Amino acid sequence: MTKQGFNPYLPSWEYIPDGEPHVYNDRVYVYGSHDRFNGHVFCLNDYVCYSASIYDLSDWRYEGVIYKKTDDPINPNGAMCLYAPDVTRGPDGRYYLYYVLDKVSIVSVAVCDKPAGKYEFYGYVRYEDGSRLGEREGDQPQFDPGVLTEGDSTYLYTGFCGIGDKTRKGPMATVLGPDMLTITAEPVFIAPSEPYSKGSGYEGHEFFEAPSIRKVGDLYYFVYSSVLMHELCYATSKYPTKGFVYQGVIVSNNDLHIDSYKPADKPMYYGGNNHGGMAEINGKWYIFYHRHTNGTNFCRQACLEEIKILADGRIPQVEMTSCGPNKGPLKGLGEYPAHIACNLFCKDEAKYTGEPWMDGRFPKITQDGKDGDEEIGYIANMRDTATAGFKYFDCKGISKVIIKVRGYCIGAFEVKTSWNGPVLGKIPVAFTNVWTEYEANITIPDGIQALYFTFTGDGGASLASFTLE
């Protein structure tokens, strides 16, 4: 079949969370941090970049390493990690990379003549007297920079605010001059942290981290991760440093609040922290975000969904899907890898990845090999009631379903078109330590359908792919 766009949109062995998309010269570039497969903490690897033509979000090009941990003068031994970055084009036409290392509260900047690097260290965001933002008495710690340049001014948004922490007032907006380093207007708070949110309109969705900024028409859109972590919320204002009003949730990486296909409070994936940004690509708007894999918080993968900006500026929440980059449903024909599952759950509900009480009883998307090995992802540890959901497919004339399974398991996979719908058929599986194909004659109704595969039986199965014929 012709190439299609899947979520995650990058190779299944790549772990790029915190993605900030920007369009330069008819290509969209994604800048994020870089997790390590089986890593023990966040963001262990160097920054890399991927880009795609604005006309084809199914074909992403690896641009290579664009900045190393050791490129920052205060991190010569690489002991600190590169947390979530953002990039903006300065008034001089060069590209500026803003980031914060994981054990300091200052904002570093690197620069390059091209959007895909390689970036070189440039300096630290500073006041006019030379002192660095984040180190002056009374400064709030800096974290997760998001940037927007208009004319000679660059607006820098930063912050991290945990629940109950009264020392953190909220996300900050700081204005920088044309040198991209020097502060021309000192930090102001643009939204409340949880302890200061009463009466603000942000209650229940207060700022936690991950500030991102875009301008659409005459409105500034401030996107952030709330104290619930799994959701990306947004606020809008006609001004870049004041007047932001909470508007709602754009996407959740466990699909909470969505009630179109299940109860609003039912999690459909194992969520976790979230971070991303908006981009207009070839006339359509998208939200970039990340999901969690490998049963931990430290192996996050990049996803995207098309969004609609309504005439009044609102953005309705969108579902997580398997087909976000595809401009519509996937073809109901051929083989699909299991790692594109957008729903993953079992009888024991959990909102967050790696909740201790689950202790290995839940399914997870993972891969063989070590970090960097180009091993296709699959779903492991599918025990009784474990369900993988894939959305959406344009089905026509499907009469057979084939699955590729391995594992010490005995039972069957049920096939459905909704998470709690009728079973259309069952595919028996048995013990095997190599990938083995099993099939059954199962008719999928014509039309746009979701597909759900539920394991019933003993042991634990791994699912590599399914084929529709």
Active site (catalytic) residues: 18, 209
CA distance 155 to 344: 38
Hey, which bits of 25-165 come out as E strands?
A: 27-31, 47-53, 60-67, 86-89, 95-99, 108-112, 120-124, 146-150, 153-158
What's the alpha-carbon Rg for the chain, to the nearest Å? 22
Instruction: Provide the phi-psi class of 327: left if phi over 0, else alpha when psi is between -120 and 50, else beta.
Output: left
Joined together, the tokens standing for residue 203 give 């209650």
DSSP track, 153-202: EEEEEE----TT-TT----EEEEE-TTSSBEEEEEEE-S--GGG-TTSS-
21 close to 286: Cβ distance less than 8 angstroms: yes
Instruction: Provide the phi-psi class of 228: left if phi over 0, else alpha when psi is between -120 and 50, else beta.
Output: alpha
3-class SS of residue 79: coil
Joined together, the tokens standing for residue 385 give 């009631």
Which distant-in-sequence residues (6+ apart) come within 8 Å of 416 by Cβ?
422, 423, 424, 451, 452, 454
435 close to 406: Cβ distance less than 8 angstroms: yes
